[in-house]
Amino acid sequence: MEWCLLASFVKDFETEEKIDKISRVLNIDQKTIFVLSNLSKPNEQILTYNVLKENLDNITICEIINNTTMIHRNKKTNTLYSLNALNMLSNDDNSMDWEKYRNNIIVCYKGELQIFKTKLIKKGSFKYKAG
């Protein structure tokens, strides 16, 4: 089995609704979705979750939820990053000091490098259920 780590950037007021949608459409347990606060953008949260690659074969990630991207994780520093962003960053900083990016998410958005400080808010089941 091959897994993909995804990150969805959502407004804080829509977090629980998006968690419900992700769990229903991708058939994943809500307990496996991490909610991170984007400390650089207080009204935004980042949902991270693993999905079986085969569940993504016939759909585009953004069909599930807008502003979603595939990411990777440096476990030692808890840094989340997209490969495009890592390539952009390594062009600027050949010595990649992961400690410098501890608890950050590094992504490329509209061709620009974006680095956000994050903090884990919660992991696990949520009260929201779509009606």
In tens digits, the chain (131 residues) has pLDDT values of 888 999 999 999 999 999 999 988 888 888 899 999 999 999 999 999 999 887 776 667 666 788 999 999 999 999 999 999 998 887 665 678 899 999 999 999 888 999 999 999 987 655 544 33
What global pTM score does this model have?
A: 0.87
Q: Which segments of 55-103 does DSSP mark as H helices, in order?
A: 61-64, 83-92
Q: Which segments of 1-131 does DSSP mark as H helices, in order?
A: 15-26, 61-64, 83-92
Token pair belonging to 124: 């696990």
Q: Are 36 and 48 in contact (CB under 8 A)?
A: yes
